[in-house]
């Protein structure tokens, strides 16, 4: 895996990490396992899977557990993101998870989509962020 902000993103490695994470999903209610993986600006790969709950609305998306893994592995900023479903299809994060990703984006966060790579700003334009909070 290429590290840092300078080199090319190894999208195949991200797909592989997302697929491995997807295989850990706990999705007995939807039968829709999801895996998410991201490259950090310092070259780590973090990943997560969806974890459902009998109280359906409490379900954790794969992106949620991935962000937990990001924080627990040292934090940092995200540079590239890949999400996959059980059929191996590239998946877009839900609206809530776009907001989660926005919070932890690096100077540039790229997301793989079914139609190619897009930026965070393209998938969540005019986002609300920490810069809008005032004290
Ligand atoms: O980007 C997404 C979209 C959906 N899901 C999960 C939530 C739920 O467990 C299942 C069906 O919505 O897929 C994710 O984890 N990430
Ligand atoms: Zn989500």
ipTM: 0.99
Q: Which ligand is nearest to the CA of 93?
A: 1
Whether residue 4 is predicted with pLDDT greater than 70 in this model: the reply is no
Give the helix ranges, DSSP H, for the chain. 11-22, 62-72, 95-103, 120-123
User: Looking at ligand 1, which residue's alpha carbon is closest to its atom 5?
Assistant: 61
Could you report the per-residue pLDDT of 51-93, keeping only the tens digit for each?
999 999 999 999 999 999 999 999 999 999 999 999 999 999 9
Strand partners, 48: 36
CA of 92 to the centre of ligand 2 (A): 9
Residues 38-67 as b/e (b if ≥16 CB within 10 A, e otherwise) read bbbbeeebbbbbbbbeeeeeebbbbbbbbb
Could you say which of 63, 103, 122, 131 is catalytic?
63
Strand partners, 36: 48, 83
For a mutational test of ligand 1's pocket, the pick from 59, 67, 87, 95, i.e. the residue with the most ligand atoms closer than 8 A to its C-beta, is 59
Whole-model pTM: value is 0.95
CA of 7 to the centre of ligand 1 (A): 30
Strands annotated E in the chain: 34-40, 45-49, 78-85, 105-113, 116-119
Residue 7 is predicted with a pLDDT of 85
Whether residue 3 is predicted with pLDDT greater than 60 in this model: the reply is no
């Amino acid at each position: 895996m290429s590290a840092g902000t300078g080199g090319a993103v190894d999208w195949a490695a991200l797909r592989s990490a997302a697929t491995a994470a997807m295989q850990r999903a706990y999705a007995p209610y939807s039968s829709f396992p999801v895996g998410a993986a991201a490259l950090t600006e310092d070259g780590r790969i973090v990943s997560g899977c969806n974890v459902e709950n009998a109280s359906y609305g409490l379900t954790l998306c794969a992106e949620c557990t991935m962000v937990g893994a990001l924080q627990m592995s040292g934090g940092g900023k995200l540079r590239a993101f890949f999400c996959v479903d059980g059929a191996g299809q590239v998946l877009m994060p839900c609206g809530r998870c776009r907001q989660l990703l926005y919070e932890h984006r690096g100077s540039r966060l790229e997301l793989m989509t079914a139609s190619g790579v897009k930026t965070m700003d393209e998938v969540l334009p005019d986002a609300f962020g920490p810069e809008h909070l005032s004290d």
